[in-house]
Amino acid sequence: MQPFHLAFPVTSLEKARAFYGELLGCPEGRSSPDWVDFDFYGHQIVAHLSPKEARLNHTSAVDGQDVPVRHFGMVLTMEQWETLAERLKAAGIRFVIEPYIRFKGEVGEQATMFLHDPCGNALEFKAFADPSRLFAK
Q: Tens place of pLDDT for every residue, the chain, 137 residues?
A: 899 999 999 999 999 999 999 999 999 999 999 999 999 999 999 999 998 887 666 777 787 777 777 889 999 999 999 999 999 999 999 999 999 999 988 888 999 999 999 999 999 999 998 888 888 88
Which CATH number among 3.20.20.100, 3.30.565.10, 3.10.180.10, 2.40.100.10 corresponds to the domain 59-133? 3.10.180.10
Delimit the domains of the chain by residue range: 5-49, 59-133
- H/E element, 87: helix 78-90
Q: Can you give the pLDDT at residue 56?
A: 62
What is the C-alpha separation between 26 and 102, in angstroms, rounded? Answer: 26
Q: Can you give the pLDDT at residue 29?
A: 97
Q: For the domain 5-49, what is the CATH code?
A: 3.30.720.120
Average pLDDT of the chain is 92
Q: Can you give the pLDDT at residue 21?
A: 97
What is the C-alpha separation between 33 and 21, in angstroms, rounded? Answer: 16
Q: Can you give the pLDDT at residue 60?
A: 78
Give the predicted TM-score (pTM) of the model.
0.88
What is the C-alpha separation between 47 and 7, in angstroms, rounded? Answer: 6
